[in-house]
Chains A and B, each alone.
Chain A
Amino acid sequence: MTGPLTTTYEEFSFNERALSLAELTPRLGDQQLGRSSRIEVWVVDKRALSARDYRRRSEQSGISRSTREDEPQMDPKDNYWTKSRGMAVSRRRFLHGSVVVSVGAATAAILGCGDDDDTQSQGGAPSPTSASPQPSSSAVAAKPVRGGTWRAIQTSEVQSFDALGGVPVNATGKFAAFVYSSLTRLPAGPKYSASNYTAVPDLALSWESADLVDFVIKLNTKAKFHAPVSRALEAEDVVFSYSKAKANKSFSNDIYDSFQAIDKETVRFRLKAPNGLFLTSDRGIVIQPKEAGSLFDPAKKMVGTGPWMFGEYRPGSLVRYVRNPEWHISAEAPYFDAVELSIVPEYANGLTQFLGGNVDEFAVQANDVLRVKSSLKDVQYFRAQPALAGSYISFANNAGDEKQPWQNPLVRQAVSMALNRDDLTEAAYNIKRLKDGGIEVDSGWNNIVPNGTRDYWLDPQGKFHAKASDPGMTPVNMKFFAYNVAEAKKMMEAAGFKDGFKARYHYALKQYGEEYRIVSELVPVYLKAIGIDLELVPEDYSSQYVVKTIRGEHDGLAHHPLGSGNPLISTFDRSYTVGSPRNPGMVNDPYLTRQIASLYATADQEKARIGMIALQNYTTEKMYYVPTQLGGASASVAYQPNLKNVLDYQVNQFNQGNETIPFYWRA
């Protein structure tokens, strides 16, 4: 029988000052790590450590095993350090001191000209990888043709055009992205993976930070606000925008302590805590002119520095933008003269519009992919990571009541082993049918980081590695993902639940689409096999799920989607930080809390990436959340045949208006 292992995991410490064991040990105090434990601290100093170094240290240190009365002792053969591929950090220079990004190289990177590996981020970005081989547009080399209108659909109404006005960012961001710019942007182009989360300069020309808390940012004063403001960007605009966002709670992640304009072109930011993602992955908010609210009403009109100028808004019907000929990022782009976003809430209507040639792009559900392919010759499909990139099962009050069966990790691991992930993916995404129809579909087992976020994903099957040197899933942890009902039953018995138990199981109705519903409703079928009898509790999204369940105020189990984005923010911080409104399992694990803080505290995004991959071994063993298969296969975004650059210029999240659409054109 495979029992839970209590393994000693590495502490990430990227800070200049090494944390001593004495400083760390008193902070433990958490019985989840056992009554007696010793944590080995690897201080990552300027010299990068090789895998051999790690193995030697582990052998020399004589790591003691933490013990709990209800957990079996670890098998020495299954020691994390002896079995895993270790933390074979490549010999890149650990970032230390000031960070400067050159303007010229950054501009070249943005335009996609030349080799820009050195300029993607301070520490060097992971090399671009694609989740699946994508047919490259043969017309990338062709000269773009100016003119025409990009036509797309939005399914939800404009709540407000003021992205800093307090309305949730997801409701305004997709409209604001066309007109506004941020301090940095995600680069798009043939060289970049769609799951790249390393940003490049936009309104921020360069920045310096000695400690990842204080940032001095030089602004790109070539950026000019549209009429009626019609002037260059100033530092006061940045301070105005961030102050307004803070006052209106418009941040998706409020990491900011203060902002100050030093001179017309320079801004100082002070963060609440060291944050290596700021500017390198977290683009920040959109920048409005300081005249917003006095010269124009930002809730009704948008005036920014982006590639498009606000044209027209017909409530419930249409938003129109026109090309900005003075866009500071590119002298030639945007190539389209205008953008029209038609508001079409109903999927069937939107699909018909696409088939009829009335719109240029459409997110096609899995069941309609073949139909579109047969109706529209030469349709271009981009296999995208879905916006709802992953999902997981949470357990009520994880850190609380000991009487709840799932307080025992054996039960949580058994739940994971009872799920047939291949079948779940097939049921939701019809992969076989799509493949038989000649559609390539990329799929994989989600870890707590979804499989579509390939650069950060630890493959539970141990097959995929973004880089050969990346850490892999330990064989022991792989077992917790493998479908093994017999073993899961034994674990349930060992946990004292031979006959299973009953529980309620919550999930949102309608909000998250058909794939989410399918996966949600199949989970109880699988858990029944190991004696867990779930009572389905489908909940109205607005009145119940988003108000209570997603915040952890539920009994039993619940099924939640995960968004895409840099996993440090969208997965680890949200789901594991104590007090986070999106920590539905109310996880309180000091080790995780420390690792998350350490990952934030490094500017070296490559190290952080590797750290996030390695951390998934820990989260697998603990299984506070059981990953499921929403987003288990790639989604399909369809484009009209006569469009160019659409397959090569792709980013995740809703900044397409700023980062990709300006580079599309129609032959």
Chain B
Amino acid sequence: MTGVNAYLVRRLALVIPTVIGVTIVVFGTLRLLPGDAVDQMLGGSYGALTDDDRKELVERYSLDEPVYQQYGKWIGSLVRGDLGKSVVTGRSVKSELPERIVVSAELGLFAVMIATIVGVPSGVISAVHQNGFVDHIIRSSAVLFLALPSFWLALLTIGYGFEWFGWTPPLRYEQLWDKPAQNLKIITVPGVILAGHIAGITMRFARSTMLESLREDFVRTARAKGLRERSVVTRHALRAAAAPVITVIALQVPVVIGGSVILEQIFSLPGTGRMLLDGIRLRDYPVVQAIVLLSAALVIVVNLAVDILNMRLDPRISS
């Protein structure tokens, strides 16, 4: 087995215990919260349900079984590809997730794309013009993006967007393949707001790695050869700095997932973030477990993909 393959096999082997660990943490954390789905029903029934009713409902939803037994059942159903049924709605979680995932994925990808398009070039420019006026402007902007909470920006955008421009967020979501123009209108503003934080991190990191790269001997050699500065920066320095920048962008996946929860709530986007919030509020264990597990799996997969990509980009890693 080559070194690369061995590395990949080791990484894949690590995925399994990581996922198991995630399931235990997700499952256990939810059960630590006071109250369960039946308690929510009790509260929402305005006192109609008695303690006997509670007992009956708890038995109906198997919430009285020992925790390890509930965990075992859940793992068993996961292996069969069954994400369970919502305790609150009775609907299959698997049937509801695809549409929701599409919305959140679109928002996340849009945000990452914008962040990359804005963050990388501005980081490069900032590094090239180190300590210049442009550098100061770009760095200050990055700090601003990092400091401003996205939910606050979102609320300001909605409020002042209407006051100044008469703009209102589109009221309902349309799929990209149904009404692409309407879909882009819906996604653009929350996507840009979500991109702001990631762009700030990307810019800062891109600047930092570019500065290191620009000081390397091979860059001095390239300049000495008489190459144009643009060529030196883009073909030589940037290429060397790309791997860490890609890694950092990939590490923003959890930030995107977390940030999208709030923005989906504010802009009424029907994604997994909103579904997760409702699930937590209602103690809908199967829904929360499924979404958190999928999110964790996404992070694991993305990190693995980034590792593979880095190996391609930087031969030093694979050797």
| B188 / chain A contacts, CB cutoff of 8 Å | none
Distance between A488 CB and nearest chain B CB, rounded to angstroms: 31
Q: How far is the CA of A157 from the CA of B277 in the complex (A)?
A: 11
Q: Which residue of A lies closest to B283 (CB)?
A: A542
Residues of chain A with a CB closer than 8 A to B271's CB: 316
A602 at the interface (CB under 8 A from B): no
- Which residues 137-173 of A sit at the B interface, judged by CB distance below 8 A? 156-157, 159-160, 165-171
Among the stretches B11-19, B43-51, B196-204, B252-260, the one at the interface with A is B43-51
A328 to B153, CA, bound (A): 50
> Is A547 interfacial (CB 8 A cutoff)?
yes
In the complex where A342-B172, A345-B268 touch, is A167 in contact with B88 (Cβ < 8 A)?
Answer: yes
| 0/1 interface trace, chain B 174-213, chain A, CB 8 Å (1 if under) | 0000000000000000000000000000000000000000
Contact B171 A168 (CB under 8 A): no
Q: Which one, A249, A356, A545, A580, contacts B168 given CB within 8 A? A: A356
For B45, what are the chain A residues with a Cβ–Cβ distance below 8 Å? 168-170, 249, 252
Q: How far is the CB of B290 from chain A (nearest CB, A)?
A: 15
CB-contact partner of B166 in A165, A356, A544, A550, under 8 A:
A356
List, in ascending order, chain A residues with CB within 8 A of B47's CB. 574, 580-582
Closest A residue to B264 by beta carbon equals A316
Q: Which residues on A sit within 8 Å (CB–CB) of B278?
A: 156-157
Q: Which residues of B sit under 8 angstroms from A545, Cβ to Cβ?
A: 43
A159 to B278, CA, bound (A): 9
A114 to B: closest C-beta gap in Å: 36
Known: A253-B48, A344-B268, A581-B50. A318 touches B282 (CB 8 A): no
B42 at the interface (CB under 8 A from A): yes
Also in contact, A314 and B48, with CB within 8 A (given A160-B90, A352-B162) = no
Chain B, Cβ-Cβ closest to A252: B48
Question: When the two chains form their complex, are residues B89 and A563 in contact, meaning their CB atoms are under 8 A apart?
Answer: no
A90 shortest CB reach to chain B, Å: 33
Contacts A352-B168, A542-B282, A544-B34; is A299 near B41 (CB within 8 Å)?
no
- Interface flags for A328-370 (1: CB within 8 Å of B; 0: not) read 0000000000000011111011001101101100000000000
Q: Are the C-beta atoms of B91 and A299 separated by less than 8 Å?
A: yes
Interface: A93 (CB within 8 A): no
B229 an interface residue at 8 Å Cβ cutoff? no
Please indicate the chain B residues that have their CB under 8 angstroms from the CB of A544 in the complex: 34-35
Residues of A within 8 A of B42 (CB): 546-547, 551, 581
CB of B158 within 8 Å of the partner chain:
yes
Tally of contact residues, A, Cβ under 8 A: 52
Does A254 lie at the interface of the complex (its beta carbon under 8 Å from any beta carbon of B)? yes
Q: B268 to chain A: which residues have CB within 8 Å?
A: 316-317, 342-346, 349
> Quick check: A249 and B53 within 8 Å, CB to CB?
yes
The interface bits of chain A over 522-550 (1 if a CB of B lies within 8 angstroms of the residue's CB, else 0) are 00000000000000000001111111101
Kindly list chain A residues whose C-beta atoms are within 8 Å of the C-beta of B269.
316
Q: Is B274 an interface residue (CB 8 A)?
A: yes
Interface check B105, CB cutoff 8 A:
no
State the CA gap A225–B154 with chains docked (Å).
44
Hey, which chain A residues are within 8 Å of B39, CB to CB? 546-547
Q: Which of B39, B41, B48, B275 has the most CB of A within 10 A?
A: B48
Cβ-defined contact, B99 with A315, below 8 A: yes
Say how far A262's CB is from chain B's closest CB, in angstroms: 28
- Is B91 a contact partner of A171 (Cβ separation < 8 A)? no
Alpha-carbon gap, A580 to B53, bound state (A): 13
Contact check, A249 vs B48: say whether CB atoms are below 8 A apart.
Answer: yes
Q: Report chain B residues within 8 Å CB of A355.
A: 162, 168
| Chain B residues, Cβ within 8 Å of A165 | 90
Does B155 lie at the interface of the complex (its beta carbon under 8 Å from any beta carbon of A)?
A: yes
Provide the A218-252 mask, 1 if CB < 8 A to any CB of B, else 0: 00000000000000000000000000000001011
Contact residues in A for B171 (Cβ distance below 8 Å): 342, 344, 353, 358-359
Smallest Cβ distance from A148 to chain B, in angstroms?
A: 16
In the complex with contacts A343-B268, A581-B50, A168-B41 CB distance below 8 A: yes
Q: A249-B48, A356-B166 are in contact. List 20 more A-B contacts (CB 8 A).
A: A157-B274, A159-B89, A167-B44, A168-B46, A253-B48, A299-B90, A314-B173, A315-B100, A316-B173, A316-B271, A316-B275, A317-B268, A343-B268, A346-B158, A346-B268, A349-B169, A349-B267, A352-B161, A541-B43, A547-B42
Q: What are 19 inter-chain pairs, A to B, with CB distance below 8 A?
A: A160-B89, A167-B89, A168-B45, A168-B46, A169-B46, A171-B44, A251-B48, A343-B268, A345-B265, A346-B158, A348-B158, A352-B169, A353-B168, A358-B171, A542-B283, A547-B35, A563-B46, A574-B46, A582-B47
